[in-house]
Amino acid sequence: MRGYKVHVVERTGRAVGASIRNFGMVWPVGQPEGALYEMAMRSRAIWKQVAAEADTWFDEVGSLHMAYSPDEWEVMNELVENIDKNRGCRLLSPEETSRKSGAVVTERLIGSLWSPDELIIDSRKTIAALPGWLQEKYGVEFTWGRAVTAVRYPFVELGKETLEADIVVVCSGADFESLYPELYAAAPLTKCKLQMMRMKAQPGNWRIGPALCGSLSLVHYKGFSVAPSLARLKERYRRDYAAYLDWGIHVMVAQNDAGELTIGDSHEYGLTHDPFDKHFINRMILDYLKTFARFKDEELTESWNGIYPRLTNGEDFFVQQPEEGVFLINGLGGAGMTLSFGFTENIFGGL
């Protein structure tokens, strides 16, 4: 858009990593007030523009977090009290919640937190469609199935082939071993493995409405840290949901354009992960899901895992310039879908 000639080099034949192994959620409600929330909303606007121009599906469904205990409800109340009223977050009664989504379990439901900001894309289809659109509209060149073996500015080496560029951006995700390994080894980075599942398309084109979350999500996202009683809720969860916290499980569900339901997830941390999914983790996710949502057809069709990098020092991004003209960009954790467009626009807007 700024007139640069862009060449993307991708080691695989198509996108198969963290970019497609997710909910497809653009999730501003999870970001804290201020710069990160504004960045999330800018990303949301870009996603809408890109998806519309690339003729791929998106749905501005918003989100619901359900409360079944007084301490969960208290955190939701405090969030609404402590964030900008223009964000549109509000508390809903059980009756209002049911009108938003017929999938919500109403037994013992105290109420829910409604946010209008959340947007869903089908990441598998959208990420697959973007290269063709970028190539056609902006002349972006793609080299697929080739790994960059070295960067020696201004040269980028693909084995014996050499490219030249004024700006080199290394976005290697969870691959810390190939390019600038010494810098990555010294950085406060680890890798997160998550497990997810998909339920079949719902009969009769039945829609769940907003993306749905259980209250374990309240202790997962930084956006809820403004609630003074959050610490007490965490302590209660350490007693009642110790195994869930140990495996980093909080449960959300989003519906794509085909009517399929994407469900997850868990969080295991370490630099090396086994390739095998743990059945008991999927069972825990499904058991907790049933406490706040039920569906017309709950048959599972797929399960998978994804791996992404995460900073261990509490920061939100890893950006380094190992040499003039070279940028390493990484470490957005589980918020890549939500923050990446706005984040990179901030970085490169001033160049």
What pLDDT does residue 246 have? 97
Residue 28 pLDDT level (bands cut at 50, 70, 90): very high
- Contact between 203 and 273 under an 8 Å Cβ cutoff? The reply is no
What pLDDT does residue 165 have? 97
Secondary structure (DSSP) of 186-247: HSSEEEEEEEEEEEPPPGGG----SEEE-GGGGGTSGGGTT-TTHHHHHHHHHHHSHHHHHT
Of 92, 123, 125, the closest CA to residue 26 belongs to 123
Distance between CA atoms of 329 and 168, rounded to whole angstroms?
11
What pLDDT does residue 348 have? 87
User: Residue 175 falls within a domain, yes or no?
Assistant: yes
Q: How many domains does the chain contain in total?
A: 1
Please give the average per-residue pLDDT across 191-208, as a whole number.
98
pLDDT tens-digit readout, 315-335: 999 999 999 999 999 999 999
pLDDT at 351 over 80: no
How far is C-alpha 259 from the chain's CA centre?
20
Average per-residue pLDDT for the chain: 96
- Contact between 202 and 262 under an 8 Å Cβ cutoff? The reply is no
Residue 106 pLDDT level (bands cut at 50, 70, 90): very high
CB-hemisphere CA count at 13 Å for 154? 5
User: Residue 2 falls within a domain, yes or no?
Assistant: no
Structure-block tokens of residue 149: 């073996």
Listed in order, strand segments (DSSP E) in the chain are: 7-10, 25-26, 58-59, 63-67, 90-92, 111-115, 119-121, 141-144, 150-152, 155-158, 161-164, 168-170, 189-199, 211-213, 252-255, 261-264, 268-269, 300-311, 318-323, 326-330
pLDDT at 124 over 80: yes
Distance between CA atoms of 203 and 278, rounded to whole angstroms?
29
Question: Which residue range forms the structural domain that includes residue 241?
Answer: 7-348
What pLDDT does residue 1 have? 85
Please give the average per-residue pLDDT across 284-302, as a whole number.
98
Which of 110-114, 138-142, 206-210, 342-346 shows the lowest per-residue confidence on average (mean pLDDT)? 342-346
User: Residue 1 falls within a domain, yes or no?
Assistant: no
User: Residue 270 falls within a domain, yes or no?
Assistant: yes
User: Residue 166 falls within a domain, yes or no?
Assistant: yes
pLDDT tens-digit readout, 251-277: 999 999 999 999 999 999 999 999 999
How far is C-alpha 227 from the chain's CA centre?
22
User: Residue 276 falls within a domain, yes or no?
Assistant: yes
What pLDDT does residue 98 have? 98
User: Residue 245 falls within a domain, yes or no?
Assistant: yes
Please give the average per-residue pLDDT across 159-186, as a whole number.
96
User: Residue 296 falls within a domain, yes or no?
Assistant: yes
pLDDT at 350 over 90: no
Neighbouring-strand partners of residue 120: 25, 59
* C-alpha radius of gyration, the chain, whole number: 21
Q: Which CATH number does the domain housing residue 12 bear?
A: 3.30.9.10
pLDDT tens-digit readout, 47-80: 999 999 999 999 999 999 999 999 999 999 999 9
